[in-house]
Structure 1
Amino acid sequence: MRASLSVLALGLAGIIALGVAPLSASPPDDTPGHGPPDGVPGPPGDAPGDLELGIEVLLDEELDRLEGQDVGIITNPTGVTRDLDHIVDELVAAEDEGDFEVTALYAPEHGIRGGAEAGDHVDSYIDERTGLEVHSLYGDTQRPTEEMLEDVDTLVFDIQDVGTRFYTYIWTMYYAMDAAGEYGKDFLVLDRPNPLGDETAGPVLDPDLSSFVGLREIPLQHGMTVGELAQLFDGEFIDYDVDVGVVEMNGYDPDNFDEYWDHLEWVLPSPNMPTQDTAFVYPGMGLMESVNYSEGRGTTKPFEFTGAPWLEDVEATELADELDSRDLQGVTFRPQFLTPSFSWYEDEMVGGVQVHVTDPHAFESVRTGIHMLDALFDLHDETVWREQDPDFWGTCDGPDDTCWIDQLSGDREVRWQLDDGVDPDEIVDGWQDDLVEFEDTAEAYRRY
């Protein structure tokens, strides 16, 4: 059943791929910043096995960037070298050599050790191993306060992103950069690969839909590394004069995005991002959170599986066949039955489909997600936006309200068009001019 409804209030929590529940945060000032960075892009990529991460380049070649500084670190379990040595341990051990001191740690969603579930409040505490205070950036505030930064000269950011706008770590970085500018702190990003490469897809965010699952006007699949994004945020969006530096990777080529984790260990960026395959599907399949289906949380295939209790063997097979008939590139679909151990439909047998990416370079996650939503509405009258199902959260009463699909997609027109039965490929084609404009802007900030 297609229904025209809307609004999940901006303050109401959501569950993004990380499974995020946006906490209250007011959108930042729209005043443009102060232009692109000086300098030239980094060297072209070599073989994927030759990649040096930003943290490794800092330790081996650029430790003098921190000389004489009190250093705060924003990180989580992904802040590791290729040998899985963590940035906190590495920088504490390098204090004498580099003539700096680590004075504070900062925890994003899921916590600095990564154990908190999606949307869970993260507390501040004292880290027993180092004796350092860990300030929560996913608790009472998402933006560092002046008090949180009083013992810091430079903030260092080292977290693995997954290339999707509604994954909250990039917005933790944004708010930290903004606070660094206000309170006169330097900001240093240690760069890491984008597991989706440099291709962009999906709507560019409508600023009226700004929330912690999308603060600024970038595409759903943004196609940039965190270092490149930091420079873009500084140049295009943040009004304060932020001293932003990026420690670039050596040997990185975004065209090889699907090969780097043949040589790197995949450290879970969040509890429901267990593999790079999850990251491949996430921009599009994360949109399944907007309807009354399981998006696979609580199973071994989060975001690779979509289903509901009313899909039995015949219905699951029909859905897989329908999606396979749509000539979507680099992907195939298979009927699957799983029982989520938590989240939606906990302990119920759920039928649906598993998304199998057969060619990551040809696969278009966002297009696939739009086709999936269209097929669910076409085939099953039970399908509604989550706000329409009394077992789910929120209210959304009219076309100009804000539903969770609006915040995830970044554009209310996606919901309106799906409600009206517009062909999914026509929906996707409607974003292309905005993507070209974004890519023209982003070009000045690309380093690889």
Structure 2
Amino acid sequence: MIRVFIICLLFTFSCASVSQKNENNVLTGADQTDLYFPLLANKRVGLTVNHSSLIEKTHLTDTILHSGINLTKVFTPEHGFKGTVSDGAKIDYDSVEAPYELISLYGKNKKPSKEQLKDLDVVVFDIQDVGTRFYTYISTMYYVMEACAENGVPVLILDRPNPNGSYVDGPVLETEFSSFVGIVPIPIVHGMTVGELARMFNEEGWLGNGVKCDLNVINMKNWNHAMPYSLPVKPSPNLPDDLSISLYPSLCLFEGTIMSVGRGTEYAFQQIGHPEYPSAQHSFTPVSREGAKWPPYEDLVCYGKSWIGEKPSYQFSLRPLIDAYAIMEREDFFNDYFKLLAGTDKLQEQIEAGMSEQEIRNSWEDDLTKFKLVREKYLSYK
């Protein structure tokens, strides 16, 4: 009981300070305990969660524990249980005391093993996504579904809004470029919630060897794809607010280049820069901080472009990338990671060839149209 109290207290203080009730009375899947608590009664339950798994100001683990449900294991994605671990950093729970087993699904253990699932009757997934293919929470969901399908464990998805859910854009992933930052053939901005995506993964035969999991989704109420939605907590350490989240689909591609996206500052994904950028109109200096240990160009002044203070505009644009490539004039501008983020090798070739944004967009339009037809079958919030 003491351990339970300690964990609950940690989440109460860490989440309550930034959580707030959202507008429009949106009810997430997690909010509707009357719909899924009966499905968990008398079962050994595993949760896939992080700091965003809130019911107003209370973490889902606390609610589950207080209800008397048998919470056995908690799986966590990139950035860890509290969402504070730096991008790509190892997550270690060996010394953490908790009333359940904590297991990281990041690094070498991205997919739950048979041993990790053997004493579970159901796995619940409740994590806030931001609607881009390379945001790894949906890859974690994919592997959870695949592992559960292979081991006969049902999956329950508690759906949440997609803040970038009002549009679909970008190149569709080519399967030869599949990775943890792009695991299925969807565009960079897919315009779907995790619940909608889960149904797509299952029904389109995209899980390994075409397996299907026993899937149940608790849909939201009072939300649709056209509705703006401000997240009550930052979904990961370097997406601090609505502006970063709206720019993330466009600016994340810079992580496959020599440019900094502002990790190690208060305004990550609101600015880009490099120590040799040939303009001093905007500058920032990355420093090591929580959620951004050893950022690119640590302690060096970077010069570049800023969107700080602008109103969020939910759209995908290649303009910043095309412009930065032209300004930097460097053969080493792109690195191998860029092709994985883009989901294709064509985008780099097109930019290097000097194609306009519209010409590049035209090249992916047919694939995007095909995806939208498939997507339509799985939309729950029209």
Name the TM tier (shorter chain). Answer: 0.7 to 0.9
Displacement of 1:280: 0.4
8 Å CA contact 1:145–1:179 kept in 2: the answer is yes
Q: 1:244 maps to which residue?
A: 215
2:49 maps to amino acid: T
Match of 2:319 among 371, 396, 419: 371
Q: 2:274 maps to which residue?
A: 308
Match of 2:46 among 72, 75, 87: 72
% identical equivalent positions: 36
Give yes or no for the alignment of 1:349 onto 2:297: no
Change (3 A) 1:341 1:356: closer
Higher relative contact order (CA 8 A, sep 6+): 1
2:319 maps to amino acid: H
Q: 1:217 maps to which residue?
A: 185
8 Å CA contact 2:165–2:190 kept in 1: the answer is no
Equivalent residue of 1:254, what SS?
coil
Give yes or no for the alignment of 1:336 onto 2:255: no
2:354 maps to amino acid: G
Which aligned pairs between 1:185-196 and structure 2 lie closer than 5 A? 185-196=153-164
Taking the aligned partners of 2:259 and 2:107, their CA distance within structure 1 comes to: 28
Taking the aligned partners of 2:312 and 2:369, their CA distance within structure 1 comes to: 22
Displacement of 1:234: 0.5
Taking the aligned partners of 1:339 and 1:72, their CA distance within structure 2 comes to: 42
Match of 1:299 among 223, 242, 265: 265
8 Å CA contact 1:281–1:303 kept in 2: the answer is yes
Displacement of 1:275: 1.1
Change (3 A) 1:126 1:232: farther
Match of 2:30 among 52, 55, 58: 55
Partner deviation per Cα, 1:47-85 (whole Å, 9 max, x = no partner): 94211111111x134321212211000000000022x20
8 Å CA contact 2:35–2:218 kept in 1: the answer is no
Change (3 A) 1:346 1:211: same
Taking the aligned partners of 1:126 and 1:198, their CA distance within structure 2 comes to: 42
Equivalent residue of 2:167, what SS?
coil
8 Å CA contact 2:192–2:379 kept in 1: the answer is yes
RMSD: 1.8
Q: 2:239 maps to which residue?
A: 273
Equivalent residue of 1:52, what SS?
coil
1:290 maps to amino acid: G
8 Å CA contact 1:104–1:151 kept in 2: the answer is no
Partner deviation per Cα, 1:327-379 (whole Å, 9 max, x = no partner): xxxxxxxx421111141111111111112585656x422x2xx2222212222
Change (3 A) 1:126 1:153: farther
Match of 2:73 among 95, 104, 112: 104
Q: 1:180 maps to which residue?
A: 148
Taking the aligned partners of 2:38 and 2:95, their CA distance within structure 1 comes to: 28
Q: 1:433 maps to which residue?
A: 366
Alignment gaps of 5+ in structure 2: 1-21, 289-294
8 Å CA contact 2:166–2:227 kept in 1: the answer is no
Partner deviation per Cα, 1:103-155 (whole Å, 9 max, x = no partner): 11111111112221110112243752x42110111133100000111121100
Change (3 A) 1:107 1:193: same
Q: 1:385 maps to which residue?
A: 333
How many residue pairs were aligned? 351
2:315 maps to amino acid: E
Taking the aligned partners of 1:385 and 1:372, their CA distance within structure 2 comes to: 14
8 Å CA contact 1:337–1:349 kept in 2: the answer is yes
Q: 2:291 maps to which residue?
A: none
8 Å CA contact 1:127–1:133 kept in 2: the answer is no
Equivalent residue of 1:125, what SS?
coil
1:107 maps to amino acid: T
Partner deviation per Cα, 1:249-305 (whole Å, 9 max, x = no partner): 111112112xx32xx62x122111111211100111001112211111111111110
Q: 1:134 maps to which residue?
A: 102
8 Å CA contact 1:123–1:139 kept in 2: the answer is no
Q: 1:117 maps to which residue?
A: 86
Partner deviation per Cα, 1:406-445 (whole Å, 9 max, x = no partner): 1111111101111111112210222111111111101111
Match of 2:132 among 147, 160, 164: 164
Alignment gaps of 5+ in structure 1: 1-46, 317-334, 388-402
Change (3 A) 1:360 1:278: closer
Taking the aligned partners of 1:276 and 1:60, their CA distance within structure 2 comes to: 31
Taking the aligned partners of 1:357 and 1:227, their CA distance within structure 2 comes to: 32
Equivalent residue of 2:58, what SS?
coil
1:228 maps to amino acid: E
Moved over 4 A (4+): 356-361
Displacement of 1:386: 4.3
Partner deviation per Cα, 1:391-418 (whole Å, 9 max, x = no partner): xxxxxxxxxxxx2111111111101111
Taking the aligned partners of 2:261 and 2:50, their CA distance within structure 1 comes to: 24
